[in-house]
Amino acid sequence: MKYDGYLIDLDGTMYNGNTVIDGAIDFVDRLNKAHIPYVFLTNNATKTQEEAAKKLIDMGFDIHPETLYTSAMATAAYLEVEAPGASVHVIGSDGLKSTLEAVGCVITDDKPDFVVMGLDTALTYEKLALGARLISAGATFISTNPDRKFPSDEGFLPGNGSLVSVLASTTDVDPIVIGKPEGIILEAAVRALGLQKERVLLVGDNYDTDIRTGLDNGVDTLHVNTGVTSAEEVKEQARQPEYMINQLSEWSVE
């Protein structure tokens, strides 16, 4: 089936760590040549839109920053609608903080309305302890994404979901989750494409996030066996993606 637009994951689909996955650049080049619109839909909340785009461009991808939509951006959009000008304590990267500040959020450690947690590669016990105290004091807990792990050049590393579970367990508070597989981020990305869901294909490597996003929200999915979830693990699931391939070079966009 030919699709009019694509939602494409990054980690494990376009690259692993700092290594481009075979066939990924060619796949994007073929979309460009066919004038098929796409949005990179990533749960990675550590970078701003421009930083995420620069990584791809530096790797050799012919893309524009406007094609990037991150869970940090989706979190900012959610807060902009639900709580304009909210005070927020951030456990996460400078990129996440600046993305939230760009929509009017006030970053603070003093009685915030929200605690927003994204992947923090400099996470410490003190940061977790402060987050727990703020949530227990009444701050609404938000997780940018639920990924338990992500692929890197050195193998799988702990993802935000694994670290969020520490605060959830400590406070007995389950966070509001923004990123895939939740519909919040998907609906925003589909709007960016300007297409009907039935004409869009979601491409990703992680069954629990990428594929479930499509299955739960009415978008066809293509699982690529280059990242988190193996083909064998996918086949064990009760619900299957529409398509599964080993490499993106196997997929025709026309």
Contact 91, 127 (CB under 8 A): yes
The answer to whether 58 is annotated as binding is no
Q: What single-letter amino acid sits at 61?
A: F
Q: Measuring CA to CA, which residue among 134, 98, 133 is closest to residue 113? A: 134
Is 201 within 8 Å of 220 (Cβ atoms)?
A: yes
**By three-state DSSP, how is residue 8 classified?**
strand
Maximum Cα–Cα distance for the chain, whole Å? 54
Q: Which of 4, 9, 210, 216 is catalytic?
A: 9
DSSP 105: P
Structural contact between residues 69 and 41, judged by C-beta atoms closer than 8 angstroms: yes
Q: d(Cα 9, Cα 13) in Å, to the nearest integer?
A: 6
Determine the Cα–Cα distance for residues 170 and 233; give it in Å rounded to an integer. Answer: 31
The active-site residue out of 4, 11, 110, 220 is: 11
Q: Is residue 11 annotated as part of the catalytic site, yes or no? A: yes
| 205 annotated as belonging to a binding site for a ligand | yes
Residue 147, marked binder? no
Beta-bridge mates of residue 107: 88
Rounded Cα–Cα distance for residues 125 and 194 (Å): 43
Q: Which residues contact 193 (CB under 8 A, 6 or more apart)?
A: 5, 7, 37, 38, 39, 200
9 is catalytic: yes
Cross-strand partners of 177: 143
Residues sharing a CB contact under 8 Å with residue 184, sequence separation 6 or more, in sequence order = 74, 78, 178
Active site residues: 9, 11
Residues making up the annotated binding site for substrate are 180
Tell me the binding residues: 9, 11, 180, 205
